[in-house]
Amino acid sequence: MDNFNTKPAQKPKLAEIVYGRILEQIMAKQFGEGDKLPSESELSSAFGVSRPVTREALMRLQADGLVTTHKGVGTFVARRPPERLGELADTSEVSGYLLSLEPRIVLEVEAARLAAQRRTRQQMAAIRAAHDALRDAIGRGELGRNEDIDFHDSIAIAAGNENFRMLLRTISNPVHQTITIGLELGRDQRRRVVDEHASIVEALNAEDSEAAATYMRYHLFQARAGLVDIHHHMSPEGAETD
């Protein structure tokens, strides 16, 4: 008999559900930029959850740049995700895409660090080939989704620990959807992805583990920023401590 996990899928945490419900309301324009959200107590009552659950959801929304909290005043909508995002994804799914970036950042940043230390010449060639394939696909006017996925997968392989790929496969659906949405946000966004990948390739080729981790973190933070439309110009060094 094949060995596979028969455990039921883990249910989303209550805070993740509340996060998603508030995000849906923001995307549906029930709250506009600058609008004050109901109080923590009111939100808890409306969603039937405890205040600590609501507080965690609001903290996640703040971390994603969607709301801002002023002590003693309340929580306000900082910005809505771009309307284009609503055309590319169902609003009920967007929160899951954003949440999938948290474990992805942890896993892929460390994978890049280890890949810089452990990659073989053949693996480096595969990473470079995946990067070139994405660059060429975008140059032809294609989306480059599969090439982008291959690039990240080749780095996970070069990390020298199959557990990275195994863990990333558990969130592969939202990760792949996030990659697709990011590429569909426009040609300029696709060009930025290629440039960010080039920095990662350079660091891996130089066997500079800290630079590889920093550039991967920056790349994934920019992916998250694109989803929530945060118009900041963060440097790779800034991503190190964000």
Same fold, 14-80 and 84-241: no
Q: In sequence order, what E strands does 51-182 have?
A: 67-70, 74-77
Q: Which fold has domain 84-241?
A: Four Helix Bundle (Hemerythrin (Met), subunit A) (1.20.120)
Residue, of 233 and 51, whose pLDDT is higher: 51
Give the tens place of pLDDT for each residue, 122-136.
999 999 999 999 999
* Range of lowest pLDDT (2-6, 7-11, 35-39, 204-208): 2-6
**What share of residues in the chain are helix, strand, coil (percent, to 5)?**
70, 5, 25
- Break the chain into its structural domains and give their ranges: 14-80, 84-241
Q: How far apart are CA 25 and CA 242, in angstroms?
A: 27
Mean pLDDT of 136-163: 96
Share of the chain above pLDDT 70, in %: 84
The CATH number, out of the four listed (1.10.10.10, 2.20.25.90, 3.30.1490.20, 1.10.150.120), of the domain defined by the range 14-80: 1.10.10.10
Is the confidence at residue 147, as pLDDT, over 60?
A: yes
Mean pLDDT of the region 174-198: 89
Lowest mean pLDDT among 48-52, 182-186, 192-196, 225-229: 225-229
Q: What is the mean pLDDT of residues 171-186?
A: 86
The secondary structure of 183-213 as a DSSP string is: HHT-HHHHHHHHHHHHHHHHHHHTT-HHHHH
